[in-house]
A = this chain, B = another copy of it.
Amino acid sequence: MTIDICASVHLSGALPPCPNERCTLLSAMRVLIRDLAKILREKPEEPVELEGWVHRIRELGGLSFIILRDRSGMVQAVATEKLDLTLESVISISGIPVRTEKAPGGIEIQVRTLTCISRAAQDMPYRVNAAFGRMGLETVLDNRILSLRNPALQAVFKVQATIIEAFSAYLRSQDFTEIRTSKLVANGTEGGTALFAVEYFNKKLYLAQSPQFYKQVMVASGMERVFEVAQVYRAEKHDTPRHLNEYVSLDVEMAFIESELELIALEKALLIHIFSELARKNSPELALHQAAVPDAAAVERSPTLSYEEALRIAIKESGNARLFDINPEVERLLCVWSMREYQSPLVFINAFPRRHRPFYTYPLGDTLTMSFDTLFRGLEITSGSRRQHDYQAFVEALPRFGLKAQDMPGYLTLLQYGCPPHGGFALGCERLTQKILGLTSVKEASLFPRDRKRISP
C-alpha cells in the first residue's frame, strides 16, 4: 500500500543513481542538459540518459547530429548511423557526454541507444526551430500550440513567470497579503467601459474589468495591504498592438497613505526588485531577445511630471501644439525625452484632471486628482491613485460622473463604516513583459491571447 518511488529524485532532476533502492522508475536515471557540465566533471565517461525534443537533425558523412532540447537547454548528440527521426519528436538518449569545441556549448553526447518516445508527424504546419522574428505575428498566434516550443517565444513566458514571482515576493516582504476575488460581477467598476456579459443561471453578470472595489474592501477590512494577480476583461473593440481583451492585471492596494507619491515610491521599489530578479534569473531569456533591464539607478532617476507639465514637454518635443491628452504618441515622446534628459526609461505622470479619472479617485483641489500613470519605454503600463475614503465627499461627487448613490450600495457600505485613507495601482503584466523584451505587440506576451477575432487556441 505504500508507494515505491522516491519523490525527491524524480522531482528535482537530481543525478543518478536514485538513492531510493525500491525505486523502479525509468526516469530516475534522467539528467537535465544544464547539469551535463557538472556531471562531466564529477563522473567523466559514465553514460547519461537524456529526454527531450528533436530541435534539429543533420546528416553528415554517415553521422547524424541531433540538437536535443529539454526544459533546461539544448545539447548536440551524435549517432554513428542514419536515423529515422522527425523534428519535434520526443526521444530518450543514452550516451556518453564528452567535451568538444565543435559542439555548441562545448559538450556533445555520443549516442549509445536512442528511443523514440513520441514521433512527430512530418507535416508540421510551423517551423519550431526558425529564428525568432522570422515568422509573422499572425502565423505565430495561429500556430500557438506549436510556436510556443520555439525557445525565444517560450522565453517570453519564463520572463513573465519571474515578473509575477518577483512582484508577489516583494509585496509579501512589505506585509501585503495576496487575495483572489470574484471575476463575476453585477456591474463595472469604472462605469462606461464595455463589459463582457455572462449568462449566469437566469441572471446576467459581467466579467470584472478590475478588482478595484474588492481591493478597497480588503484594505478597509483591516488587511490594509493587499495584492492580486488575475485576469481582467475589457470588451473594447480595439485591435492594436497595445490592447488585449483579456489580460493579467498586477493589482496593489494599501491603507494609510497621504497621496499618490507613496504609490509611485512603492512602484519604483517594485520595479527595481522585478528588474533585478530578471537580471539574476533570466539572462538567457533576455539574451534571446537582445533585451536588458534598467538598473536601480535608472528607475530612481525617473522623473515625476504633472499632467500639465507632461503635455507641455510633449508639445515642445514634437513641435505640435495640438496635443490635448496623453495619447500613445505623447507616451512615446515623453519616454524619449526622459531617456535623453534623465537616462531613465520611466516617466511618472501625476495630477491628472478630474474629468480623466474614475469617480473613486481622490481629488486634489477642485479640478485635479491624486492620481498617476507610469510610462515605460513609450507605453503606459500602470494607472493608480489615492481613492476617496470619505463617505460624504464620495456621495457629493457622484453626480459629476453621472452616477447615483443608490446604484452603488457596495461602495456606500465600504465607506460608511470606517474606511482609512488608501490607494493603489494596477500594472499590466503583458505590457510590462512586452516592453522589457522589446516585443512588437502585447499579444506576443499573452500565452493564449484573446482579441476581437482571436478566440482559440
Contact = CB atoms under 8 A, between A and B. Distances in A.
Given A161-B177, A180-B231, A417-B124, A196 B196 contact: no
Interface string A413-455: 1101111110000000100000000000000001111101001
Contacts of A416: 120-121
A456 B233 CA distance: 18
A178 B172 CA distance: 18
A88 to B, nearest CB: 4
Copy number in the complex reads 2
A305 B1 contact: yes
A457 to B, nearest CB: 5
Contacts of A449: 182
Nearest to A158: B177
A146 B417 contact: yes
B222 A174 contact: no
A232 to B, nearest CB: 11
Contacts of A88: 417-418
A199 interface: yes
Nearest to A227: B161
Given A11-B266, A118-B389, A178-B161, A455 B200 contact: yes
A157 B321 CA distance: 52
A404 interface: no
A198 interface: yes
A197 to B, nearest CB: 5
A265 B305 contact: no
A89 B415 CA distance: 11
A189 interface: no
Nearest to A305: B1
Contacts of A27: 256-258
Contact of A418 (B5, B89, B261, B446): B89
A426 to B, nearest CB: 15
A262 B5 contact: yes
Given A205-B455, A221-B148, A7 B54 contact: no
A31 to B, nearest CB: 12
Interface string A233-267: 10101000000011010000001111001101110
18 contacts: A1-B305, A7-B268, A30-B256, A53-B222, A53-B418, A86-B418, A90-B420, A117-B421, A121-B417, A154-B223, A165-B172, A181-B447, A182-B447, A186-B455, A186-B456, A200-B455, A205-B455, A230-B230
Given A27-B257, A51-B420, A413-B457, 8 more contacts: A3-B304, A71-B175, A71-B225, A118-B420, A118-B421, A145-B221, A146-B413, A214-B448
Interface of A: 1-8, 10-13, 25-27, 30, 51-54, 69-72, 86, 88-90, 117-121, 124, 144-146, 148-149, 154, 157-158, 160-161, 164-165, 168, 172, 174-175, 177-186, 196-201, 203, 205, 207, 213-214, 217-218, 220-225, 229-231, 233, 235, 237, 245-246, 248, 255-258, 261-262, 264-266, 268-269, 303-305, 389-391, 410, 413-414, 416-421, 429, 446-450, 452, 455-457
